[in-house]
Structures are given as C-alpha cells and as structure tokens.
Amino acid sequence: MNKAILFLLVVTLNAGYLSNCNAQNKPISQRVDSLMKLMTLEEKIGQLNQYNDDWLATGPVTLDANKKEQIQNGQVGSLLNCMGTARTAAWQKIALQSRLHIPLIFGQDVIHGFKTTFPIPLGESCSWDLDAIELSARTAAVESSASGIHWTFAPMVDIARDPRWGRVMEGSGEDPYLGSKIAYARVKGFQGDKIGETNSVIACAKHYAAYGAAIGGRDYNSVDMSDRLLWEVYLPPFKATVDANIGSFMNSFNDINGVPSTANSYLLRDILKDKWGFKGFVVSDWGSVGEMINHGSVKNEYEAAEAAINAGCDMDMESRCYKNNLVQLVKDGKVSMSTIDDAVSRILTKKFELGLFDDPFRFCNREREEKELNNPEHPKIARDAARKSIVLLKNEGNLLPLSKNLKTIAFIGPLVKAVKENKGFWDVEVPGVDSGYIVSQWEGLEKKIGNHAKLLYAKGCNIEGTDRSGFAEAINIASQADAVILSIGERRDMSGEARSRSNIGIPGVQEELLKELLATGKPVVVLINAGRPLVFRYTSDNAPAILYTWWLGSEAGDAIADVLFGDYNPSAKLTMSFPLSTGQIPIYYSHFNTGRPAQNDDNRFYTSAYTDLSIYPKYEFGYGLSYTTFKYSDLKLSQNKMKKDENIKVSVTITNTGKYDGEEIVQLYLHDLVGSITRPTEELKDFRKLMLKAGESRTVEFAIDKEKLSFFNKNLQWVAEPGEFDIMIGASSRDIRLKDRFELVD
C-alpha cells in the first residue's frame, strides 16, 4: 500500500475511533475500546500511575519537579489528596491538555466523613445499624463528590482481632458476618444509586487481604494464615463489596504466606477477578509496588512492576515503578500487551462511568460545593450516628442517665475541652474550606444543661505524662459537685495507620486521677475516648458508670450529652472483644474448642487456659448495656429437622422490662457440633435491632437456611454438612438467653 493511502486510512480510522469514544449513546465498552485504539503504550501506562498532589500527604512523598508536564503529557491517570473544586478543576484543566484529553480521576481517603466527620468506623459499627451506616457513607459521598472527589479509599473491611493494631479503628471489628453486612452498606452508601451520579463516589475495598492479621499487631507486618481462615474470616467482607458492585479494590501492604498482596495473583486474579468476577480496577497501596524490594520478593523496581502488573494490580499508587519500567517490560516480553490493556480498560471504564469524558468538570461545581459542605441536614445525621455508636459498658446503681435536676456538675479531664481530638484519625482537612465545626464535649454539655445547673471544669491532667499538678483543682471541683463526669482516653492519633501500640492501657496518669476522684465519694461517670479497645482494669472494676465514646466526630459533644442525660438511650454493642489484659490478645468470641477446652476460670487443671489470667475478655463481642432491660422468651423453631432445601423459622419474643424506651440488638449464633473440619463454638449468623417502648413485647423472626449452615471444608468447597446445630439467641456472644438444637438431614 502506498504511504499516502495508508496515511488516509489511518486518519479515517482514527477519526472513527475518536467519534466512537465521544459518542455518549455508545456502550461504554465500545467507547473504551475506541479510545484505547488511539493510545500509545506510554499513554496507556500513564493511566496506571497515581500520584500524590503536592500539598497533603498520607505516606512517604516523592516530589517530581515536572509533575505538571507529566500530567500534560498523559503520563498520570490519577491524583490523590487533591480536594476542593478549585484545586481539582485546576489539575483537570492541565490533564485535558494531553494529546487525547483523558481526564484524571481524583481519589481521597474519605474514611469517616468529609467536612462533616462521623464516628470512626469501628465506633460506628457498634451501632449495628446498617441504615445509619449507609447514610453516613452517603452523606460523606455527597460532600466529597461536591468537592471534586470521584473516588474514596473506603470502606476498610479488614477483620481485626488484635487491638494493638492501630488500624482497628477503620474497620468493623472481629466478625465476618457483621463485617460483611457493614461492608455492603458502606459501598451502597458511597456509590449511591450508581457510579456516575454527581453525588456518588466510587468505593474501594481495602486492604486486600488479611491486613488485619499482621503478626504481633504491628502495622504492615507479615501475615501467615491458613486458607481456611482466609476464606472463612478475612475474605467474606471483601466478597460482600463485590456483591454490592464496588468499583475498586486496594492491595494491602502485608505479605501473606510469603507473597506480598501487591503481587499476589492468587488473591487478585484467581479469587477477585476470576472467581468473583470483579470488573473494577485494583490500586496498590501507597508505594507498595516498590516496597516489595524490602519484602525481599523482588530484586529491583523493574521486577516489582513486572510482578505487580502480572498479578493483577492495575494502578500504582506513588511508587513510580510502573511509570519507569512498564514500557521496557513490554518490550522485553515480560508483560503482555493484553495485560496492560486489561488494566487500562478497567480504569478507563470507571472514568467513562463517572461521566468524566462527557464533562470532566461535572464534580467541580463551586455552588454545589458551598451548598453541600454547609448542608444543615448533615450535622443531624452525624449526631444520630454518634449517639448510636456510644457503648454503655457499666451502670452500677443506674447512675446513668443523670438527672436534669442536678445542681452542680464537675466535668473533668484532658478531653473535655479538646476540639479536634473528637474527629479521630482519618478526618479530612479540606484546604481552603473551613475544615468543619466540632461540638466539643464541653459545649455539648453546656448546651444541654443551659442554666439548670452549674458546670465546673478542670483539666486534671494531660493524656500522657506523669504531671499530677492538676489533680488538686480537679478534686476541689469534684467535692463541690453532685456528680462528676471524667473524660479520658487516647489522643486521636494514637490509633490509626502506623499507630500500633504494645501497651493499650489508658495512657499517663488518667486512671490515677480517677482514683482520686472516686475517693471524694462523689458519683463518677467515665467517658473513654479511643480508637481501639483499651485495657482499663482499674476503671472497669471501680468506676460506677462507663461510656465508651470512641471518636464520635463533628457532633461528639451533643451526642455525649444526649446519652448522659437520657435523651438518647444507648443501644450500641461491641464489635470487638475488649481484653482484660494485653496477655489475652488476640482474643475473639468465635474460637474453636480444643481437646481440653478451658471451661471456666475455676477449672484450669490441664485445660487450655492461662494459669494467671482469665480466658474471658473484659467485655465480649456483642456486649453493651441500655438504660432499660430486656427479657428474652419463647424461643420457637418451626421444625427440629431440616433438609438442605428447607428453612427453619425461628421466633423469639423480646420484652422491654425496664422504665425507658430502648433499642435491643438481638443476636443469633450457631454452633455446628461436628464437622469435617472443626467449627467455632459460636458464629453470628443473624441479628435484629429493634425499638421497644417500656413494657412493650415484640416477636422477632429469623430464617435458618442452608447458606447459614455452610462453611469452607478442607477442599475450600462451600458446604453444609448434615448433623446437629445449636442455636443460641443472646444479648451478646456470652449472654446467651435462649438455646435449642436442630438437625440438618440429607
């Protein structure tokens, strides 16, 4: 063919591809294909690079003097930590100067709210309120999408059973069943009706996988785990996000059984993309592609890029390994063009779904940003979420709720007047925008009691350190008061990424301050603010009333005041076991029996117990009190034998036997008595949260089907094996109120 004809042909073909990729009426897959036909290898690889913007960082930074030029050249597909309509629009304009005008996708850690901050996810999970959880994610999506964000790095769905690990604060605790329900709700909340609505963001399930099982609770540490445990406990919440149609996944930093997750083709290709049919894209964690050199699984960045892309990691966050090596790897035949194309098309598909090719600035509407970041409904949603997350751990002599007729209240502690602490670790500072109001605990209480009572304040001590000089003032005001409220705990940045602690006691001299206050003889209510389960034996043994308040976000003060004075009756229940001592860690309810089960603390003789410590946690999974009490009665099973294609209907009556209206979380646990592999003594398989007026009774129904009885057998097949099952209905994993047995027959 002569050159002129070839040239004309190419021009005509390209014009066709261009018009296809711009045609809004064509299916996205066709538009992606057409665009990819126009792209050079370098441009394709550009789509696989994600850079940090220069002004905020959530990891070790690489600064490129020519970042702008790289974006103009189409060498970068995504930015993170770039927020606000002005800033995102400015970078987007630069990206659109590239040859093919491919827009950037902006990702951000919107973990527990954006401008409006919600309770840290672990706290929020204690609400067991899937609607409220979905709503908080929805609200965060509305705010962040209005501020130029397309994609959140949430939800974090890692099961966590070691409270020394600082990132327990980001997840939903220890249980795969509840964790899966919450994961699903959060994805629905973030993604809304569909990806592409301007008030939705793409969600990202992280950290895939088993990051929560880091040895010794040390962040980023290795994981060594059986397939059974992986499939049964750590993978289900990830699978739930795929069921919810999630748009993206993020690798975890850890290696698992010797293979870093970033280059783990078993996880990424065999399970996620093949078995589960995930159609979205996978982003590495920050720098994790390059960090495989430190793991010792690759020699250099060239091998790191090869291993990660071939294993199915589509986008490289911040390591530059893809940018610097993929062209050569393709030329060397180490990475196939189809591997590159698959990764690129997954990313472009999401950009098309977001509508960015039709209007790259559709998330950059200044007026909408202004309106949504000041939406008066959002604080109300945050207050409700915060109240629902507070766990009442102890309430001796019904000290709580406090009477509104108290004359003098002493509000003491290093966290009473703290402001930003209430926001928790992953709060978002939206640059250029007032980074958000926070109702401090002091303000909340002041508002609540108005002029009805005198409110006295003393800091008492710092969170850390040994300074007791403030004790005297605290004791002095406590002596003048009718009741004392003491607010103590961690700093907000003591739990979070890279915040593992070996001693998870209440820091400093805070418990000593409590001791002094108790010695005044005044009733003391303790608020514990933290991002993880802490160990606080002195407080739990001696304080008459304890509320675990986590980090509750923007509306912390109002929510705490609502609970203290009974305008909200606490309903939350723990989603992670609280150890009695760090020596028990890891501790979780859903354990196996041994050949010599530890029966109880009185019988330790040659059993699987500690000689010097109870085997029981201080507060177990599912535990949490209310200002009222609930009676469980009339457990009925529709049948005691069930075939695999049948259901058993289970009903139980719950009665509010106390003086306050209140909500109860009724929990259903199963125990498969004999299995081809041993089964946990208890597994949560269902729950209901119900509101009952004082004196009211209601019958709750559950259905047991084959799915609830199934598990992964030793060949990793999902099976329900015939045999007997105990069914337990409880107010917590230890407080089992009713029990029965049924049989699954062939």
Report DSSP state, residue 601.
Answer: T
Closer residue to ligand NOJ, CB minimum distance, 80 or 416: 80
Report DSSP state, residue 329.
Answer: H
Alpha-carbon torsion (133, 138, 144, 149), positive or negative: positive
Closer residue to ligand NOJ, CB minimum distance, 205 or 392: 205
Cα gap 286→70, rounded to integer Å = 19
DSSP string, 529-591: E-SS--B-HHHHHH-SEEEE-----TTHHHHHHHHHTTSS------SS-B-SSGGG-S--SS-
Residue 214 Cβ vs ligand NOJ, minimum distance, rounded to whole Å: 12
- Per CB under 6 A, which of residues 429..468 are in contact with ligand NOJ? none
Closer residue to ligand NOJ, CB minimum distance, 59 or 431: 59
341 is an active site residue: no
Closer residue to ligand NOJ, CB minimum distance, 53 or 109: 109
Closer residue to ligand NOJ, CB minimum distance, 286 or 725: 286
Contact 244, 183 (CB under 8 A): yes
- Per CB under 6 A, which of residues 143..182 are in contact with ligand NOJ? 153
Residue 191 Cβ vs ligand NOJ, minimum distance, rounded to whole Å: 17
Residue 285 Cβ vs ligand NOJ, minimum distance, rounded to whole Å: 5
Q: Which residue of 134, 162, 314, 497 would you call a contact of ligand NOJ, by CB under 6 A?
A: 497
Rule CB under 6 A: say whether 632 interacts with ligand NOJ. Answer: no
Active-site residue identified among 285, 316, 384, 672: 285
Cα gap 409→453, rounded to integer Å = 7
Rule CB under 6 A: say whether 286 interacts with ligand NOJ. Answer: yes
Residue 677 is encoded by which pair of tokens? 């592999």
Residue 70 is encoded by which pair of tokens? 């790289």
Plot region of 102 (φ>0 → left; ψ -120 to 50 → alpha; else → beta) = beta
Residue 59 Cβ vs ligand NOJ, minimum distance, rounded to whole Å: 5
Closer residue to ligand NOJ, CB minimum distance, 153 or 249: 153
Residue 371 Cβ vs ligand NOJ, minimum distance, rounded to whole Å: 27
Cα gap 525→533, rounded to integer Å = 18
Residue 244 is encoded by which pair of tokens? 């919810």
Rule CB under 6 A: say whether 206 interacts with ligand NOJ. Answer: yes
DSSP string, 331-389: HTTSS-HHHHHHHHHHHHHHHHHTTTTT-TTTT--HHHHHHHHT-THHHHHHHHHHHHH
Residue 78 Cβ vs ligand NOJ, minimum distance, rounded to whole Å: 12
Burial class (CB in 10 A: 0-12, 13-18, 19+), 327: middle
Rule CB under 6 A: say whether 630 interacts with ligand NOJ. Answer: no
Direct distance between the N- and C-terminal alpha carbons of the chain, in angstroms, rounded to an integer: 71
Alpha-carbon torsion (474, 478, 480, 485), positive or negative: positive
> Binding string to ligand NOJ for residues 92 to 131, with x set by CB under 6 A, is what?
-----------------x----------------------
Rule CB under 6 A: say whether 369 interacts with ligand NOJ. Answer: no
Residue 519 Cβ vs ligand NOJ, minimum distance, rounded to whole Å: 44
Closer residue to ligand NOJ, CB minimum distance, 254 or 365: 254
DSSP string, 160-218: ---TTSGGGGGS--S-HHHHHHHHHHHHHHHH-S-BTBTT--B-EEEEETTGGG-GGG-
Closer residue to ligand NOJ, CB minimum distance, 153 or 363: 153
Query: What number of chain residues touch ligand NOJ (CB under 6 A)?
Result: 9
DSSP string, 120-169: PHHHHHTT--HHHHHHHHHHHHHHHHHTT--EE---B------TTSGGGG
Provide the total of helices (H) and of strands (E) in the chain, helices listed first.
23, 26
Contact 697, 654 (CB under 8 A): yes
Closer residue to ligand NOJ, CB minimum distance, 59 or 586: 59
Contact 594, 547 (CB under 8 A): no
Q: Which residue of 134, 175, 285, 314 would you call a contact of ligand NOJ, by CB under 6 A?
A: 285
Residue 566 Cβ vs ligand NOJ, minimum distance, rounded to whole Å: 38
Residue 155 Cβ vs ligand NOJ, minimum distance, rounded to whole Å: 11
A 10 A CB-CB count for 8 gives: 11
CB-closest chain residue to ligand NOJ: 58
- Per CB under 6 A, which of residues 6..65 are in contact with ligand NOJ? 58-59
Name the β-bridge partners of 204: 248
Closer residue to ligand NOJ, CB minimum distance, 153 or 231: 153
- Per CB under 6 A, which of residues 544..563 are in contact with ligand NOJ? none
Residue 540 Cβ vs ligand NOJ, minimum distance, rounded to whole Å: 32
Residue 76 is encoded by which pair of tokens? 């970068």
Residue 637, SS3 per DSSP = strand
Contact 521, 481 (CB under 8 A): no
* Residues noted as catalytic: 285
Q: Which residues bind ligand NOJ (CB under 6 A)?
A: 58-59, 80, 109, 153, 206, 285-286, 497
